[in-house]
Amino acid sequence: GNSVTQMEGPVTLSEEAFLTINCTYTATGYPSLFWYVQYPGEGLQLLLKATKADDKGSNKGFEATYRKETTSFHLEKGSVQVSDSAVYFCALSGTNAGKSTFGDGTTLTVKP
Amino acid sequence: EAGVAQSPRYKIIEKRQSVAFWCNPISGHATLYWYQQILGQGPKLLIQFQNNGVVDDSQLPKDRFSAERLKGVDSTLKIQPAKLEDSAVYLCASSLVPYEQYFGPGTRLTVT
Q: Which residues of A touch B43 (CB under 8 A)?
A: 44, 89, 102
Which pLDDT score, from 0 to 100, does residue A39 have?
93
* Amino acid (1-letter code) at residue B91: L
Distance (Å) of CA B69 to CA A64, B38, B55, B75: 35, 24, 12, 4
Q: How many CA atoms lie less than 13 Å away from B12 in the CB half-sphere?
A: 1
Choose the closest CB to B106 out of A43, A94, A105: A43
Q: How far apart are CA A14 and CA A85, in angstroms?
A: 11
Is B1's pLDDT higher than 80?
Answer: no
Q: Mind telling me how many Å the CA of A18 is from chain B's nearest CA?
A: 24
Q: Mind telling me how many Å the CA of A93 is from chain B's nearest CA?
A: 6
Q: Which residues of A touch B88 (CB under 8 A)?
A: none
Query: Do residues A22 and A82 lie in contact, with contact meaning Cβ atoms separated by under 8 Å?
Result: no
Strand A56-59, strand A44-50: pairing:
unpaired
Is A57 in the B-facing interface, judged by CB distances under 8 Å? Answer: no
Which pLDDT score, from 0 to 100, does residue A105 have?
96
CB atoms within 10 A of CB B96: 14
Q: How far apart are CA A90 and CA A104, in angstroms?
A: 8
Q: Which of A28, A44, A96, A101 is the best residue to mutate to test the B interface, defined by the most B CB atoms within 10 Å of its own CB?
A: A44
B63 Cβ contact partners less than 8 Å away, ≥ 6 residues apart: none
Cβ distance A32 to B99 less than 8 Å, yes or no, reads yes
Which pLDDT score, from 0 to 100, does residue B11 have?
97
Instruction: Going residue by residue through chain A, which has 112 residues, state the pLDDT in tens, using 9 for 90 and above.
Output: 789 999 888 999 999 999 999 999 998 778 999 999 999 888 899 999 999 999 999 999 999 999 999 999 999 999 999 999 999 999 998 765 567 899 999 999 999 9
Which pLDDT score, from 0 to 100, does residue B15 have?
96
Mean pLDDT estimate for chain B: 94
**pLDDT tens digits along B50-99:** 988 998 999 999 999 999 998 889 999 999 999 999 999 999 999 987 77
